[in-house]
Amino acid sequence: MATTAPTSVKPAQRLPGETSSFPLLVLLAGWLIPGAGHLLVGKWVRALLIFLSILGMYVIGIAAAGKIYTPNTGDILDILGFVGQLGTGLLYVIARVFSLGASSAVNTLADYGTKAIVVAGLLNIIAAVDAHSLANGRKASF
Amino acid sequence: MLTHFSAMLLFAFFVSIVFGITQRAEPKMMVRFGAYCFVLFVGSVVAMSWIMWAIKH
ipTM: 0.90
Residue A27: count other Cβ atoms within 10 Å of its Cβ.
Answer: 21
pLDDT tens column, B1-57 = 778 888 889 999 999 999 999 999 999 999 999 999 999 999 999 999 999 999 999
Instruction: Collect all residues of chain B within an 8 Å Cβ-Cβ radius of residue A8.
Output: none
* E strand or H helix that includes residue A76: helix A76-86
Instruction: Collect all residues of chain B within an 8 Å Cβ-Cβ radius of residue A126.
Output: 18, 22
For chain A, first and last CA: distance in Å?
25
Instruction: Collect all residues of chain B within an 8 Å Cβ-Cβ radius of residue A139.
Output: 25
What phi and psi, each to the nearest 5 degrees, are found at residue B55?
Answer: -65, -40
B36 to chain A, closest Cα gap in Å: 17
- The per-residue pLDDT string of chain A (142 residues; one tens digit each, 9 = 90 and over) reads 444 545 555 555 555 555 789 999 999 999 999 999 999 999 999 999 999 999 999 999 999 999 999 988 888 889 999 999 999 999 999 999 999 988 888 888 899 899 999 999 999 999 999 999 999 999 988 8
B interface with A, Cβ–Cβ < 8 A, is: 2, 4, 7, 10-11, 13-15, 17-18, 21-22, 25-27
Report in angstroms the alpha-carbon separations of A75 from A70, A79, A81, B47, B55.
Answer: 10, 6, 10, 34, 34
Decide if A122 contacts A31 (C-beta within 8 A).
no
Task: Read off the pTM.
Answer: 0.86
Decide if A18 contacts A2 (C-beta within 8 A).
no
Give the SS3 label for residue A105. Answer: coil
Rounded distance, CA A48 to CA A29, Å? 14
A-B CB pairs within 8 A amount to: 56
CA proximity to A28, closest of A84, A87, A91 = A87
**Contact (CB<8Å) B7/A109:** yes
